[in-house]
Amino acid sequence: MTQLVLPRGYQPDDEGTHPPLDFAGYKTTALRHPTKPLILLPHRLTEVTGPVFGAERLHNGDDDLTSYAGGEAVGQRIIVHGRLLDSDGHAVPDSLIEVWQANAGGRYRHVNDQWPSPLDPHFAGYGRAVTNADGAYRFTTIKPGAYPWRNHLNAWRPSHIHFSVFGQAFTQRLVTQMYFPDDPLFFQDPIFNSVPDQQARDRMICAYDHSVTTDHWALGFRFDIVLRGRAQTPFESEPDDD
Amino acid sequence: MTDLGCTPSQTVGPYLALVLPWEDGCDAVAPGTPGAVTIAGRMFDGSGDPIPDGLVETWQADPDGRFDHRDDPRGPRRYSGFRGFGRCPTDDGGHFAIHTLRPGPLPAGDGQVEAPHVDVSVFARGLLNRVVTRIYFPDEAEANAGDPVLRELPADVARALIAVPDGDGALRFDIHLQGPHETPFFRV
């Protein structure tokens, strides 16, 4: 096989940015977290490449969650926008973003969500968008409600929107949740609080954006998503040989 | 240089099925493509119970060991348009199945050669971040023996990354998030 100079790998994750897989406060992690140390995988071709999806995965209206089945969804209409960037500040263009969320009353349109809050016939709770050349994306949706779960006594999830992004490499794949400013439920939410670093945690909270708020129409929120950037030198993530 | 902090990972939660499964998700290659292979398995938790709300994603080279991606300096040759990406939710029994083409061996950039493999991301409620593993092929003993990743691992760990023949050319690769058969997982 011919010799090949591999593209640079990606920067290692910063300590404290991502949650530990074993987090006692979130009970479901107990039987679902690996117990053995993760093995370092150097970034070679399979890791520096990745699935790249664009407009071909979109359907008409995927970026507007407020008009399912021919009518208007109930709730506070909001515009969520932002940029997909890498940690060096480079835009990540032409990249698929998938979102899902509860309705204004905090109920998901899913067979397993049966708590007594009504479904909205005009809110399906999922959407898709593709970033433009500047890495920018935009959704119109409804502010999701909080909802109860059985993790601990009187447990409520703060309002959040799930985001799934591919970036441009296998190493950049990220699923996260976007939260809203000043949510009074943060203090008791183990999923939000599983992120060790306070500054990292705060990066999951969108910012109210009056420049996008639209008169007599919708409130604007800004949420930038930052993925790992390139390592500075090839094989930075390789283990030392000595 | 700008140095923005990365956005943290969070769990997919119980309702990923609202958008993540695609109608053609489990097909990393178009159905009916000659030479296609099925890699199927089940996902289990630490008590051995199947995980009914998980998601498996796969990413791999084409049969020539190439990627249709700007960062593969060679580019695709015969397999332009091969998606190479599979995404399959687990069912009530924890089952998943990906239909794909077998990847070829890949240059490792340092004169070594990586054995044919598939990178796997696993998502589920209760996983605060994805976990990553690799699937290698059972009939590639020589390539596996020279693989720069497998070679660094204890024999039993390397063996656990090799799929099991499951009749008619199909392959089985179960994913155990925890327990006596815990799958080896990587930090990428």
Q: Nearest residue of B to residue A40 by CA position?
A: B187
pLDDT digits (tens, 9 = 90+) for A168-202: 999 999 999 999 999 999 999 999 999 999 999 99
Q: Do B131 and A7 make contact, defined as CB atoms within 8 angstroms? A: no
Of B5, B57, B130, the CB nearest to A203: B5
A&B contacts, CB < 8 Å: 240
* A11 is a domain residue: no
Q: Which of residues 37-56 of B touch A (CB under 8 A)?
A: 45-47, 49, 51, 53
User: pLDDT value at position A234?
Assistant: 52
**pLDDT at residue B53, rounded to an integer:** 97
Tell me the pLDDT of chain B (188 aa) as tens digits. Answer: 568 999 999 999 999 999 999 999 999 999 989 999 999 999 999 999 999 999 999 999 999 999 999 999 898 889 877 899 999 999 999 999 999 999 999 999 889 999 999 999 999 999 999 999 999 999 999 999 999 999 999 999 999 999 999 998 899 999 999 999 999 999 99
CA B119 – CA A138 distance, rounded (Å): 31
Q: Give the residue from A129, A64, A127 showing the smallest Cα distance to A96.
A: A129
Q: Nearest CA to CA, how far is B167 from chain A (Å)? A: 28
Q: For residue A226, list its beta bridge partners.
A: A85
- Indicate whether A65 belongs to any domain: yes
Distance of residue B169 Cα from the nearest chain A Cα, in angstroms: 24
Active site residues of A: 108, 147, 157, 160, 162
- Six-digit token string for B92: 């009530």
CB-nearest to A44 from B73, B109, B187 is: B109
C-beta separation of B170 from B117 below 8 A: no
Q: Identify the pLDDT of residue A173.
A: 98
Is B83 touching A (CB cutoff 8 A)?
Answer: yes
Interface ipTM: 0.97
The reported pLDDT for the residue numbered B1 is: 55
Domain that holds residue A58: 41-227
Contact status of B106 with chain A (Cβ, < 8 Å): yes
Domain harbouring A58, CATH code: 2.60.130.10
Classify residue A232: in a domain, yes or no: no
pLDDT score, position A159: 98
pLDDT at B38: 97
Of B7, B106, B125, the CB nearest to A28: B125
Contact A109, A102 (CB under 8 A): no
Minimal Cα–Cα distance from A216 to chain B, Å?
30
The residue ranges of every structural domain in chain B are 29-176
Instruction: Residue count of chain B, please give it.
Output: 188
Its pTM stands at 0.96
User: In the 3-class helix/strand/coil scheme, how is chain B assigned residue by residue?
Assistant: CCCCCCCCCCCCCCCHHHCCCCCCCCECCCCCCCCCEEEEEEEECCCCCECCCEEEEEEECCCCCCCCCCCCCCCCCCCCCCCCEEEEECCCCCEEEEEECCCCCEECCCCCEECCEEEEEEEECCCCCCEEEEEECCCCHHHHHHCCCHHHCCHHHHHCCECEECCCCCEECCEECCCCCCCCCEEC
pLDDT at A2: 53
Residue A6: inside a domain: no
Within a 10 A sphere around the Cβ of A64, how many other Cβ atoms?
Answer: 16
Q: What are phi and psi of B120, to 5 degrees?
A: -130, 130
Give the architecture (CATH level 2) of B29-176.
Sandwich (2.60)
For residue B45, list chain A residues with Cβ-Cβ distance below 8 A. 31-32
DSSP code, position A28? G
Dist CA A112 CA A9 (whole Å): 40
Assess if residue A238 is contained within a domain.
no
* B92 lies within 8 A of chain A by CB: no
| Total count of residues recorded for chain A | 242
Number of domains, chain A: 1
pLDDT at A103: 98
First to last CA, chain A: 27
- B74–A contact, CB cutoff 8 A: yes
Low-confidence ranges of chain A (pLDDT < 70): 1-3, 233-242
User: What's the confidence (pLDDT) of residue A240?
Assistant: 44
